[in-house]
Amino acid sequence: MFMNLFGMDSVYFLSMFVIVFSISLAAFLLIVTVIIYYVHAIISSQRRKKYTGYESLLNSIGTASKDIVKNGSGFITLDGVSWEVINKGDEDIKKYDKVLVTGRTGLKLIVKKMESKNK
C-alpha cells in the first residue's frame, strides 16, 4: 500500500534498495579498510628502532667488510649501510667479524672486535 501511494511497484523499490545498500556497504568497507591501514602504519612506525643522531649507533653490532688492522681504518656494514670506521680495539679485525660501535670521530665510527664466545 505504501508503494502504491508514490506510484512505485514493490519490485522496483526493492531493486533500488538493494543497489543503494550495496553501494553504501562497499563505500563503508572501503573507508574502514583505509582507516585500519593508516592506524596500523602509525602504530608500526612508533614501535620501530629510532634512527636519529649518532647516539642510535652506539653499542650497535656491525660486520666488517674487509680486514681492519689495529688503529687502522676500514669499512663495516651496519643495518645495511656501509660506514667508515677506525679500529680502536686490542686486535685486528678480519673480514666478516662482528664489531661493536663504541664512539665516533667526525663521520667515522670507532669500533672494536666483538669477543668470541669460544674463549
In the predicted model, is pLDDT for residue 53 greater than 80? no
Is 118 part of a structural domain of the chain?
no
Indicate if 64 and 40 belong to the same structural domain.
no
Answer with the residue of higher pLDDT: 67 or 11.
Answer: 67
Indicate if 103 and 62 belong to the same structural domain.
yes
Domain membership of residue 94 as a residue range: 54-113
Is 67 part of a structural domain of the chain?
yes
SS3 content of the chain, % helix, strand, coil (to 5): 40, 30, 35
Is 94 part of a structural domain of the chain?
yes
**Cross-strand partners of 75:** 84
Indicate if 35 and 60 belong to the same structural domain.
no
pTM check: above 0.85: no
In the predicted model, is pLDDT for residue 56 greater than 90? no
Residue 54: phi, psi to the nearest 5?
A: -70, -20
- For residue 93, give every residue at least 6 positions away whose Cβ sits within 8 Å of its Cβ, in sequence order, or none: 64, 67, 68, 74, 87, 99, 111, 113
Is 71 part of a structural domain of the chain?
yes
Please count the structural domains in the chain: 2
In the predicted model, is pLDDT for residue 39 greater than 90? yes
Q: Which residue carries 670521530 as its cell? A: 105
- For residue 58, give every residue at least 6 positions away whose Cβ sits within 8 Å of its Cβ, in sequence order, or none: 101, 102, 103
Indicate if 58 and 102 belong to the same structural domain.
yes
Indicate if 70 and 40 belong to the same structural domain.
no
Is 109 part of a structural domain of the chain?
yes
Indicate if 107 and 84 belong to the same structural domain.
yes
pLDDT band at 2 (very low <50, low <70, confident <90, very high): low
Q: Which grid cell is 68?
A: 681492519
Residue 6: predicted pLDDT = 58
